[in-house]
Structure 1
Amino acid sequence: MKKYLSLVLFAHSIFALPFAFIGFFLALHTTNHTFDWKLLVLMLVCMVTARNAAMAFNRYLDRDIDILNPRTAMRDIPAGRISARGALLFTIINCVFFVVATYFINSLCFMLSPIALFVVLFYSYTKRITALCHLVLGLGLGLAPVGAYLVVTGQFHIVPVLYGLAVLCWVSGFDIIYALQDEAFDREHKLNSIPVLLGTKGALRFSEILHVCSFIFVLLPVLYMEVGWFYYLGVVFYGSLLIYQHRIVSPTDLSRVDRAFMTTNGIASVIFAVFYLLDIIVL
């Protein structure tokens, strides 16, 4: 189990999971639905299994690329800690658990489950097709608040969609920063990415634009629901951390990319979710 948690980088679940909690409690706060532990557990099962499937499939599909890249050569499959067959089986098992969990939630979630799996699995192919692969990754994680809202209500609403767009822009932006590490390798091996397409300086500028959009999308829900000062404080912290990660990475200094990718973004999502939950408790 420890090997498979390493395979899927389980600690990185912290990126989208806080926004799933936002979508779940948003539904409870703004509708007449009541809290149900079963639904919360099923939502968490869906989040974990979908991400496990996506990460394991990515590692399976990229195994021949990873072994050539010095940065990724020690990942679990190239290093021989997990077999390619084992990673693929792990992917299938998680997909099955995901679909089964949605069956016990509601009919809409069950019907949409193949689409959700297609999005999160298809990302692994996109670097071979388009430089917009980062946006597909963002879309996959952006399903979290929308899906969590559907778990409770079985209906769509504009506010969780806005949070989904915020996640899409946020994740795409920081994935572009992360991809700067592989710009030379990707160009040499004819793989697509924004850094390959636009260069380091252009990629950072595009990432900045996406993060500005993400900030706007976390602010727009105030037009559709009542919020208090905790919410605005969360928005300020979220925006500040987006700015911070762009201050510590520059075209001439990529030494702090890992800090911008993992630490800063993990803190940003958790802090924003905490302030959102505090806001609805106070209201």
Structure 2
Amino acid sequence: MNAISKIVEFGHFVRLSHSLFAMPFALGSMWVAANGFRGMSALEILKLVLLIVGCMVTARNTSMSFNRLVDAKIDAKNPRTAKRHLVTGALSKKTVGAFILFNTILFCAFAWLLNPLAGACSLPVVVALCFYSYWKRFSWLCHWYLGFAIGMSPLGAWIAVRGEFAAFPIFLMFILMLWMGGFDIIYATQDEEIDRQMGLHSVPARFGRKRALKIALGSHLAMLALCVVFGVYWQMGMAWWSIFALMTAAIVYIHLFRKSDDLDTMNRDFFLANVGISVLVMLGLVVWILLGGDVNALR
């Protein structure tokens, strides 16, 4: 029972539920890269899926834990984060350090089991993911760097399947970067004043809440524009455009027609939208392949 409690505690520590933001993008990219698993045996599919999901979970565990570790002193001074595990002593720095090392080793091992390129990229990816923790100390562009770090997931899934870089998943990476960057700006409105007091850089601290929300909207509109280019260039068909219409409606609603200005309500709504947009993108990719799309015909 103690071991189970510890696992649950670490799940809360790394905010495991937030895996829903990037996981659908990665799974959709995996599905396209594998051409809908055409010609693959059940055992090959199971191995591929388990290794990719394993990479996603362990990479996120590493980066989130590292962020909590280096931000422990900052979190202690912020009322919103003062009850986090390292601040309260629920978890020790030594324990978290061991957890980071354990997940890093697992991530690299899973990557090498996929293919040589995935393995060679594993350590640089860990460094890139962990570097996010320092960006807010010197630049308000930190939100888009976080988006870039999370956005590497569809590119990583593609490399895991095909062992090569390609423009298709790189487009997905930038779509996710713009979406997550905008979402993180909205999330950061909670800490506008405390960030200013502590000399931390964020869009809300630099520009104020109202302008920050407009910048977040701009990031999301840029994401939609990139989705248009993506759909046209790769001739994604009606499945993609149907999904695109739903994404556009969701973004217009949450930015322009929400009735509550309460920060808690706003962040809850954007959390749900975040999951929804990710799932919609995945569905668009899945349906495209099911309706006859062929990854080998991509230019």
Q: Smaller-chain TM-score range?
A: over 0.9
- Matched length: 283
The answer to whether residue 85 in structure 2 is matched with residue 79 in structure 1 is no
CA distance in structure 2 between the partners assigned to 1:226 and 1:253 by the alignment: 41
Give yes or no for contact 1:248–1:256 (8 Å, CA) kept in 2.
no
CA distance in structure 2 between the partners assigned to 1:110 and 1:126 by the alignment: 26
Q: Residue 183 of structure 1 aligns to which amino acid in structure 2?
A: E
1:242-272 Cα deviation digits (max 9, x unpaired): 2232236699653423223321211221133
Q: Tell me: CA distance 1:28–1:252, structure 2 relative to 1, closer, same or farther (3 Å).
A: closer
Q: Which TM-score applies when normalising by structure 2?
A: 0.89
Aligned residue number for residue 37 of structure 1: 46
1:84-114 Cα deviation digits (max 9, x unpaired): 2211211111111111111111111111112
Aligned residue number for residue 235 of structure 1: 244
> Which range moves more in the overlay, 256-265 or 113-122?
256-265
Give yes or no for contact 2:36–2:290 (8 Å, CA) kept in 1.
no
Instruction: Flag structure 1 segments of 5+ consecutive residues without an equivalent.
Output: none
Q: Residue 174 of structure 2 aligns to which amino acid in structure 1?
A: L
- SS of residue in 2 equivalent to 1:78: helix
Aligned residue number for residue 287 of structure 2: 278
Aligned residue number for residue 139 of structure 1: 148
CA distance in structure 2 between the partners assigned to 1:57 and 1:90 by the alignment: 9
Give yes or no for contact 2:52–2:160 (8 Å, CA) kept in 1.
yes
Task: Please give the residue correspondences for 1:134-213 in structure 2 after superposition, counting only pairs within 5 Å.
Answer: 134-213=143-222
| 1:149 Cα deviation after fit | 0.7
CA distance in structure 2 between the partners assigned to 1:90 and 1:17 by the alignment: 21
Q: Which TM-score applies when normalising by structure 1?
A: 0.93
Q: Tell me: CA distance 1:108–1:118, structure 2 relative to 1, closer, same or farther (3 Å).
A: same
| 1:31 Cα deviation after fit | 10
Q: Residue 11 of structure 1 aligns to which amino acid in structure 2?
A: S
Greater RCO structure (CA 8 Å; 6+ sep): 2
CA RMSD of aligned residues (A): 2.1
- SS of residue in 2 equivalent to 1:104: helix
Q: Residue 60 of structure 1 aligns to which amino acid in structure 2?
A: L
Task: Please give the residue correspondences for 1:1-80 in structure 2 after superposition, counting only pairs within 5 Å.
Answer: 1-29=7-35, 34=40, 36-80=45-89
| 1:128 Cα deviation after fit | 1.0
> Which range moves more in the overlay, 43-52 or 232-241?
232-241
1:37-72 Cα deviation digits (max 9, x unpaired): 212211111100000111111111111111111111
1:153-206 Cα deviation digits (max 9, x unpaired): 111111111110000000000000000000000000111111111111221121
Give yes or no for contact 2:62–2:103 (8 Å, CA) kept in 1.
yes
> Which range moves more in the overlay, 124-133 or 9-18?
124-133
CA distance in structure 1 between the partners assigned to 2:231 and 2:208 by the alignment: 36
Aligned residue number for residue 133 of structure 2: 124
- SS of residue in 2 equivalent to 1:256: helix
Instruction: Flag structure 2 segments of 5+ consecutive residues without an equivalent.
Output: 1-6, 293-299
CA distance in structure 2 between the partners assigned to 1:219 and 1:116 by the alignment: 28
Identity across matched positions, percent: 33
Q: Residue 124 of structure 1 aligns to which amino acid in structure 2?
A: S
- SS of residue in 2 equivalent to 1:155: coil
The answer to whether residue 88 in structure 2 is matched with residue 88 in structure 1 is no
Aligned residue number for residue 259 of structure 1: 268
Q: Tell me: CA distance 1:73–1:126, structure 2 relative to 1, closer, same or farther (3 Å).
A: same
CA distance in structure 1 between the partners assigned to 2:130 and 2:259 by the alignment: 31
- SS of residue in 1 equivalent to 2:94: helix
Give yes or no for contact 2:29–2:285 (8 Å, CA) kept in 1.
no
CA distance in structure 2 between the partners assigned to 1:198 and 1:98 by the alignment: 38
